Amino acid sequence: MNKKIYFVSDAHLGSLAYTNDTYREKKLVAWLDAIKHDAAAIYLVGDIFDFWYEYKYVIPKGFVRLFGKIAELCDSGIPIHFFIGNHDIWTYGYLEKELGMQVHKQPLLTEFNGKRFYVAHGNGLGKNPFVVEMIEKIFHSTSVRFFYNMIHPSINMRLGLAWSKKNREKKRQQEITFYGENKENLIVFAKEYVKHTPVDFFVFGHRHILLNFMIQKSTQVIFLGDWIEHFSYGVFDGENFSLEIFDVEPKNPNE
């Protein structure tokens, strides 16, 4: 396998909680440009946007640089897979039809060069507190979406971005803390999953920490970090999976 598979998650572009949004978008575009020469596929593993809600004829403002680069890479023949997270659930066709990405609303079990991968953002997997389970059900409810569609996009976006900002500020410390093997929900989930289905690499976003954790001799759990502080990504070269930091400054980095 001469080419590589790349993974990135949790850019949270558009967030009101950070002041360097344009810089982070430009850096993500620079990363995509840097890997295009040897990318067999690129996986965007959730929460690329801090809040995304698609109407039939209206999409959120912004992300022009990123969308242009994604369209370019898809047009060149590089498959780009987009996984919904807990902040960018509400996609209805724009990302597929206009940009050419493959959108995944469920975890994906796939194989690269004889290695089995389980790829998912990570929210909703395993055992979660009752409140979290209820929020997941509400977010995915078709009836809730129907009524939310009745709200004007300007109001919708203000509400969504305000909620997301509050969520980021409240949970930031939780996101960057590793709670240990037996308390990390996604590690516990992976241990249970491999009891009935063999997997070489579990690749998750959501947790915002960098982790490559061996749960058994041939199985690793990967947490991809984020594109807020770490500017991290995962890469599979056909045999091994590694976590890397993109430390190249974008052209014209100023906001």
Domain CATH for 89: 3.60.21.10
Q: Could you tell me if residue 135 is inside a domain?
A: yes
pLDDT value for 173: 64
Q: Is residue 175 part of a domain?
A: yes
Tell me whether residue 253 is in a domain: no
Measured distance CA(206)–CA(191) in Å, rounded: 18
Has residue 185 been placed in a domain?
A: yes
**Is residue 255 a part of any domain in this protein?**
no
What is the domain range of residue 92? 4-245
Compute the distance between CA of residue 27 and CA of residue 23 in angstroms, rounded to an integer: 6
Residue pLDDT tens, the chain, 255 long: 589 999 999 999 999 988 899 999 999 999 999 999 999 999 999 999 998 888 888 888 999 999 999 999 999 999 999 999 888 888 889 999 999 999 999 999 999 999 999 999 998 887 776 676 777 777 767 777 777 778 888 888 888 888 888 877 777 766 778 888 888 999 999 999 999 999 999 999 999 999 999 999 899 999 999 999 999 999 999 999 999 999 988 877 665
| Rounded CA separation 248/117 (Å) | 28
Kindly state whether residue 91 falls inside one of the protein's structural domains.
yes
- pLDDT (0 to 100) of residue 155: 86
In a domain, 143, yes or no: yes
Residue 55 lies inside a defined structural domain of this protein: yes
**Considering its fold, how many domains does the chain have in total?**
1
Distance CA 78, CA 76 (A): 6
